[in-house]
Amino acid sequence: MHRFARPTVCLCYPPKNSNGNLNFVSRKEQFLSLLKDCSSIKVLNQIHAQIQTYGLGRDGYVMSHVLRFCALSSPSGDLEYARSVLYHALDRITSSWNIVIRGYALNDLPREAIAVFLEMRSRGVKPNKLTFPFLLKACAHLSALQEGRQIQADAVKHGVDSDIYVQNTLIHLYGSCGEISDARRVFDTMFFRTLVSWNAIITAYVGKSLLDDSVRLFTEMIFCGYEPDEASMVVLISACSELGNLSLGRWAHCQVIEKGLVINCRLGTALVDMYAKCGAVGCARMIFDRMRERNVWTWSAMILGLAQHGLAREALDLFLEMKNCSVQPNHVTFLGVLCACSHAGLVDEGYQFFHDMTHVHGIKPRMTHYGAMVDILSRAGRLKEAYKFIFDMPTEPDPVVWRTLLSACSIHDADGNSGIREKVRNKLLHLEPTRSGNLVMVANMYAEVGLWEEAANMRRVMREEGQKKMAGESCIEIGGHSHRFFSGDDSLVDCEIIYNFLDGLNLNMMAINHE
């Protein structure tokens, strides 16, 4: 109540100058200080009404403070209110438009940010160098390449394209859209660069999976005398996790400690993800447990890491713990949860989680979630159910979903499922008639049941299409050295021992299966 009372008192008894009139400047200052102390939209409404009464509703400076509160203070801000104030009260003050664009961009409403910019342009308000960074960020968020290019042209038109902030966000935009050559062009033409420029271009390379290049750029950055910060390390570490390069990842972790960088939420999450992806799930857990602040991404990375290592029980326990900590799961969390169900053969639980994801948490399933459900059903050998599940999907299934089921068809006994196998095979070949991986899988399936002519036919299609299946490739790190090897590779040292060991493993698994 106290907060509500104070502005009213001030407004009723405004200071007066020697003539007994309200001093205009001091009234303005008074409103500014009220706005500074403003605590809620309700109070703001009162102040705003008073501002209008005193004829200051079109004062750019005062109104920019009103808008600042509406658009940028969370969680009590109100962007729609800000937009209506902007559209009705002000028309030509660039900074006010910038604030609202910024508010939308920061609150994950990129479409609205772009809409406000278009409105601004249609009213003939000139943008300045501060208009573009958040606007371009909004485009990056949407991967809106065309709009981004047009906005870049607008920045050029207004002579602000050489601004460092604009250029850095342009790199970010092109990186987010996967346009690495455009990102690089901006980076190369920069007269002056900052650490952020380097971070942005390296991120662009990592996003495009050009991992060796990204590590090279990182080295170049250090060579140029830049001190990597938290953001640089996050990018490098995520490159390591995609490369599966544990020793480089460890080196990066050491650098973080040596440089005394703060392991914030993002950096911690990157480390958890890297250790998990590089097979050191124990290290991932250690980092996770030591983190003081965790968000949904941190929990998700850990849950997915555990699930992918077959530690299904631990993954699901962690999911419960996360909910107990009142952290709202997102689509990645559920991917981890479904992955855990798939590894542990928990079909009913999988269904339940899928249901909860949609109906309790309001998360719209993505193709990867459908894929995970099909994987759960397929691994459990419930092929008919998997087929029905795909059939009932509201969107057109992608080839990955069909491939999951088709490979399950070849693993599980075909009894009673041959009809499904035919259908799935036809669907997949219809969607991707020339993909070598599909043709090989189908050819092998024919061969297994002795349909040699059909198998040969598939191989012929492959030849005619000029396709050669890329050999499966992987790498393993032993004693700090990375060893790359291929499927069926017989050039390895001790290759005979390795293959004998693998055969032994297969026999053991078959024996367990028949117990």
Chain residues in the site for DNA (CB under 7 A): 60-61, 64, 93-96, 98, 102, 106, 128-130, 132-134, 137, 140, 160, 163-166, 168-169, 172, 175-176, 194-197, 199-200, 203, 207, 229-232, 234-235, 238, 241, 265-267, 269-270, 273, 277, 295, 297-298, 300-301, 304, 331-332, 335, 366, 368
Cα maximum dimension of the chain: 107
Q: Please state the closest distance from residue 190 (CB atom) to DNA, in A.
A: 10
Q: Please state the closest distance from residue 476 (CB atom) to DNA, in A.
A: 20
Nearest CA to 99 out of 115, 83, 76 is that of: 83
In degrees rounded to 5, what are phi and psi of residue 172?
-60, -45
Nearer to DNA, 363 or 409 (CB): 363
Beta pairing class for 481-486 and 473-478: antiparallel
**CA–CA gap between residue 139 and residue 126 (Å, rounded):** 19
Nearer to DNA, 121 or 366 (CB): 366
Nearer to DNA, 278 or 445 (CB): 278
Nearer to DNA, 310 or 381 (CB): 310
Nearer to DNA, 372 or 380 (CB): 372
> Got the DSSP string for 172-214?
HHHHHTT-HHHHHHHHHT-SS--HHHHHHHHHHHHHTT-HHHH
Nearer to DNA, 242 or 454 (CB): 242
Q: Please state the closest distance from residue 98 (CB atom) to DNA, in A.
A: 4
Nearer to DNA, 116 or 442 (CB): 116
Nearer to DNA, 82 or 443 (CB): 82
Nearest CA to 404 out of 443, 451, 372 is that of: 372
Q: Please state the closest distance from residue 407 (CB atom) to DNA, in A.
A: 19
**CA–CA gap between residue 228 and residue 234 (Å, rounded):** 10
Q: Please state the closest distance from residue 23 (CB atom) to DNA, in A.
A: 13
Nearest CA to 288 out of 246, 327, 297 is that of: 297
Tokens of 117: 């910019």
Q: Please state the closest distance from residue 506 (CB atom) to DNA, in A.
A: 29
Nearest CA to 3 out of 33, 39, 30 is that of: 39
Q: Please state the closest distance from residue 50 (CB atom) to DNA, in A.
A: 18
For 418, residues 6+ apart whose C-beta sits below 8 A from its C-beta are none
Q: Please state the closest distance from residue 26 (CB atom) to DNA, in A.
A: 12
Length of the chain: 515
Nearest CA to 369 out of 383, 356, 359, 354 is that of: 354
